[in-house]
Structure 1
């Protein structure tokens, strides 16, 4: 013990255990590595100080493992060396600085090391007479440990979501064999088994709620990619998929759009479904052609997928060559008429117009484009043009 500076062993510091491992082996690791030993950045230290300081009458500082102040309500002290904190970090023990023993960079108080995974990651300091602030400092260390644990859990959750996104992205690019897919899933503690199913759920502004709800399900992993929630299911069966869809559909408001890959798929089929889903989501206007609240099989969207895979210039030409002469009202009339299976009565009802008005619009469309939409081949050409028009918008890749 030195004069005025007493070393006190910190009672039973909390030590965290368990670390996540990289999710996908062989060069397809997720963005960033799995969180290991906790680290306290300046931003986190300052946030922790601001969280706990209002409930105390004493000043609180957080120092890094080298004794440099990284969190304090006194902005002038941030970035300066605290000799007592450095001693505490080196020794792994609490350091008391008595009145009269302080010098440049230190003030009377208690400095207790924060130990995580057997390493000092920071030092928590409370200013005041050591005998008075020691109980406060000990409670404060436990509080900071709890807050750090919460931050770490959030980091782990963010890393896992990023890892899942990378796994599904690699799947869509055709970069995964089944063995590597399963190894990657084991790396995030999701040991799914074939057969597979991939489902895309399109729900505006509901991704966070959907992902939260999907955590309750075993046998699935999910991530938000290109504006949709991708759900990969293992041990896929028709019954399991139907139960999952029903529960999610009940939770969706407004109703959800389900883009369904093959149930009980092989690895080759799964990879194909992932590629199809990625292509459709890259041109999200195409999804507006899918009814809200519906369940649509990916392999039933052949025309949309064919359009999605065309060069942008060709898509533009397919749309403009037919739709350029049409007004917005005539464009909408053509779209609704085709969706109504060429039913004049059904389309008129959907548009809220008289049958004669609809017939006049169809005649006007034929005059401007040369396409009589009541005939099969003309209807197909218009359908292609409308799909190309919907595909013009390209989603920013995530």
Structure 2
């Protein structure tokens, strides 16, 4: 609990909501007074704002007070008044109107009920604040316009100390046009994360984001479907690097196909995916046309060549003889005009396959 919350005055709006909720269940009027004895919630609107002498005695003496004969000139009514304790502090008074001896026990029950309801509302408000804070934090980090000092201050205000990490989840099926959609139950997953305070989560740009301290959570930690898409970053002490990761992640949210699926062990290059995500859609269409005729075996060959250190390693990766691999390389050259034995041509073909994935024509090149 923060110092601000301990010092915040009891909300009259919240107190009235609680009174309106409880009052229909009993046959007596309920009053809620603040820490000064002023009535802030009541079933008789005309009494709101007036001082309650019995409540002032409760606050001064820190005990229950029965009002049998109200003082002349006051708005008090006969009844029982109980201290309202919230988080161990005397924050106000709850009064139940009626014969003091008859409503004395009822007043204790009502005071406890009011206390529990207000505490529950405070907790919900705290989670709501953390959710808003998380959304603002993700928006700031991914905007590309936030200054490092401001980003660092926001992270510190959220209780997130370096090293920081970032993880992203999206639904397995893209939106029409290839955009990212949040996984099912993403909002509830974000609420659970924000409830413990150790990390911050928000649904933004069509994805679930989680920012935390140290290593990013594993793909299955939020309990999202296995068909979801997921990427996470290494931990970093550098706020500029964290903002770069966030800006990259926002770019990836343009095309769901550029984010790997959890359920598939696909080789994936973040750098290529981010580079492709920044390209105009017409450029993606032009690039994807260049590799449209490649077979599955040829696509796997491209991926193997991109990750292997030699032709022999690439051949072993796709379980073929070196001569078979060379034949595939020649066919790829015939289809695309690019010789993937050349690093620059290999990079171009690889990016064309990522362009296909961005447009939903195919998946990320398999290994």
Alignment of 1:113-128 (within 5 A): 113-116=83-86, 121-128=91-98
C-alpha deviation, 1:126, in angstroms = 0.3
Q: How many residues align?
A: 299
Higher mean C-alpha displacement, 152-161 vs 212-221: 212-221
Unaligned stretches of 5+ in structure 2? 171-181, 299-334, 339-347, 361-367
Q: Which residue of 2 aligns with 1:271?
A: 243
Are 2:52 and 1:83 aligned? yes
Alignment of 1:310-389 (within 5 A): 318=282, 342-343=294-295, 375=336
C-alpha deviation, 1:165, in angstroms = 3.9
Structure 1 residues 130 and 297, CA gap change in structure 2 (3 angstroms): farther
| Larger RCO of the pair (alpha carbons < 8 Å, separation 6+) | 1
Structure 2 counterpart of 1:56, from 6, 11, 26: 26
Quote the Cα distance in structure 2 between the aligned partners of 1:47 and 1:189. 32
Structure 1 residues 197 and 83, CA gap change in structure 2 (3 angstroms): closer
Structure 2 counterpart of 1:107, from 77, 92, 100: 77
Q: Which residue of 1 aligns with 2:120?
A: 150
C-alpha deviation, 1:230, in angstroms = 1.7
Structure 1 residues 78 and 298, CA gap change in structure 2 (3 angstroms): farther
Q: Which residue of 2 aligns with 1:133?
A: 103
Q: Which residue of 2 aligns with 1:98?
A: 68
**SS of alignment partner, residue 57 of structure 1:** coil
Q: Which residue of 2 aligns with 1:200?
A: 168
- Decide whether the 8 Å contact of 2:31 with 2:41 is kept in 1: yes
Structure 2 counterpart of 1:299, from 271, 275, 281: 271
**SS of alignment partner, residue 197 of structure 1:** strand
Q: Which residue of 1 aligns with 2:202?
A: 223
Per-residue CA distance 1:90-109 (angstroms, 9 max, x = gap) = 63554433257576633211
Quote the Cα distance in structure 2 between the aligned partners of 1:288 and 1:78. 62
C-alpha deviation, 1:58, in angstroms = 2.3
- Decide whether the 8 Å contact of 1:61 with 1:124 is kept in 2: yes
- Decide whether the 8 Å contact of 2:168 with 2:209 is kept in 1: yes
Per-residue CA distance 1:163-190 (angstroms, 9 max, x = gap) = 4444444433453359x84x76565555
Structure 1 residues 98 and 85, CA gap change in structure 2 (3 angstroms): closer
- Decide whether the 8 Å contact of 1:88 with 1:111 is kept in 2: no
Structure 1 counterpart of 2:214, from 209, 212, 235: 235
Q: Which residue of 2 aligns with 1:19?
A: 2
Q: Which residue of 2 aligns with 1:287?
A: 256
Quote the Cα distance in structure 2 between the aligned partners of 1:37 and 1:150. 17
- Decide whether the 8 Å contact of 1:259 with 1:297 is kept in 2: no
Higher mean C-alpha displacement, 164-173 vs 120-129: 164-173
- Decide whether the 8 Å contact of 1:62 with 1:71 is kept in 2: yes
Structure 1 residues 79 and 197, CA gap change in structure 2 (3 angstroms): same
C-alpha deviation, 1:148, in angstroms = 2.2
RMSD: 4.7
- Decide whether the 8 Å contact of 1:101 with 1:108 is kept in 2: no
- Decide whether the 8 Å contact of 2:20 with 2:43 is kept in 1: yes
Quote the Cα distance in structure 2 between the aligned partners of 1:77 and 1:297. 68
Q: Which residue of 2 aligns with 1:245?
A: 219
Per-residue CA distance 1:142-168 (angstroms, 9 max, x = gap) = 332222222222233333344444444
**SS of alignment partner, residue 62 of structure 1:** strand
Higher mean C-alpha displacement, 223-232 vs 380-389: 380-389
Quote the Cα distance in structure 1 between the aligned partners of 2:68 and 2:196. 56
